[in-house]
Amino acid sequence: MPDSLLSKRAVVPSGALVFYSDFDDFSAWKNALQLHCPQLEVLHSSEAYDPARIHYVMAWKPPEGFFAPLKNLRLFINLGAGVDSLVGREDLPPDVPVTRLSDPQMARMMAGYVLFSVLRYARDIPHFEQAQRRGQWSYKHPRSPEDVRVAVLGLGELGGRAAQELHRQGFTVSGWSRSQANIEGIQCFAGLGTLDTVLGGAEILVVMLPLTPATRGLLTRERLMRLPRGAFFINVARGTLVDQTALTELLQNGHLGGATLDVFEREPLPADDPLWRMENVLVTPHLASVAIPTSAAEQVVENILAASSGAALKHVVDLSRGY
């Protein structure tokens, strides 16, 4: 057994942890956390518990008022990378630190989803899917990857990893972020003044930006129109980064050749939304990247023990910036 695991097993953290999520597996998380720290009491939010004993919350989009009775809260662990649902909340005290998951498996999973989506368009797979439904042998010669221009908006931990994977596969990759990034093999742009240039050169656009007050609604109709006619659009970030009505219309009129959408303005996507029935759109239910308890639990326990002892935390989020 690793020394780090032995040392965590010997530490008794103060207080208990309460867990809230509508879809994450509580039992899997509880088992994974207690594997690294058996002394940690892990409770589900549906159980009866004494709010005064709760020092840690691990949750995804807890309802308004959730934090109000937790007067001894020392740490909030966000069950995911995006923290937009926490920005501006009145029930979360400003002195309570918020940490995000930084699971290497999440970055790998996201990079895999993005690579699949880009390859699907680069290799004309939707064309062959439609030809198959018609019973038609419709050959299209493959293009060289370096001839396919892919732009990634957002070059943080997940976006940077995805951009690197696309570059490794031979695509010509550019990246854009609000502040300058430097990634080997990627032409990196920064600032709103360069966004139109990036959009104008993208045959395939991958959206991986955090949702902040500065990025909400960033991809307006006008900016989407900057994409070359027939370009493909992939969104694995947040639906409200994009004018979804404009996106739908541009997919319908052919300005955009197709879209792979994992996120939407409203989730679940309403049953009457036209995106469901469009042949040039692939819809997935916000699953491009999720935290895996067995690989993420150790870092969560490390932060819990740090919060318990007053030590420095890792992966702290600045809610004023939104990431």
Phi first, then psi: what are they for 195, rounded to 5°?
-65, -40
Tell me the pLDDT tens digit for each residue of 21-73. Answer: 998 999 999 999 999 999 999 999 999 999 999 999 999 999 999 999 999 99
* Spatial contact of 244 and 264, defined as CB atoms under 8 Å apart: yes
pLDDT, position 61: 92
Q: Has residue 111 got a pLDDT over 60?
A: yes
The candidate with the shortest Cα–Cα distance to 158, out of 260, 239, 237, is: 237
Q: What is the mean pLDDT of residues 245-259?
A: 98
Answer yes or no: are the C-beta atoms of 191 and 215 closer than 8 Å.
no
Per-residue confidence (pLDDT) for residue 6, from 0 to 100:
43
Query: Average pLDDT for residues 241-245, to the nearest whole number?
Result: 98
Give the number of other CB atoms < 10 A from CB of residue 258.
20
What mean pLDDT value characterizes the chain? 94
Token pair of 244, please? 């979804």
pLDDT digits 0-9 by tens, 173-186: 999 999 999 999 99
Looking at residue 1, its pLDDT comes to: 39
Band of residue 12 on the pLDDT scale cut at 50, 70, 90 = confident
pLDDT per position as a tens digit, 133-172:
999 999 999 999 999 999 999 999 999 999 999 999 999 9
- pLDDT tens string 58-71: 999 999 999 999 99
Residue with tokens 């990036």: 198
Domain 3-103+291-309, classified CATH 3.40.50.720, yes or no: yes
User: What share of the chain has pLDDT > 70, as a percent?
Assistant: 97
> Which of these, 102, 110, 18, lies nearest to 296 by C-alpha position?
102
Q: Which sequence spans correspond to the domains of the chain?
A: 3-103+291-309, 105-283
> What are the tens digits of pLDDT across the range 90-110?
999 999 999 998 887 999 999
Cβ(93)–Cβ(73) below 8 Å:
yes
Model confidence over 178-220: pLDDT tens digits? 999 999 999 999 999 999 999 999 999 999 999 999 999 999 9
β-partners of residue 99 are 77, 316
List, in sequence order, every beta strand (DSSP E) within the chain.
16-20, 41-44, 54-59, 75-78, 98-100, 149-153, 172-177, 187-190, 204-207, 231-235, 256-261, 281-283
Q: How confident is the model at residue 5 (pLDDT cuts 50, 70, 90)?
A: very low
Phi then psi for 78, rounded to 5 degrees?
A: -85, 130
pLDDT in tens, 76-92: 999 987 888 898 899 99
Do 212 and 240 contact (CB within 8 A), yes or no?
no
Q: Which CATH architecture has domain 105-283?
A: 3-Layer(aba) Sandwich (3.40)
Q: Is the pLDDT of residue 3 over 70?
A: no
Indicate the pTM of the whole model. Answer: 0.92
**Helical (H) or strand (E) element with 17:** strand 16-20
| Residues belonging to the active site | 238, 286
Q: 37 and 9 in contact (C-beta within 8 Å)?
A: yes
| 3-103+291-309 and 105-283: identical CATH topology | yes
Give the distance, in angstroms, between the CA of residue 220 and the centroid of all CA atoms in the same chain.
21
- The helix (run of H) or strand (run of E) holding residue 6 is helix 3-9
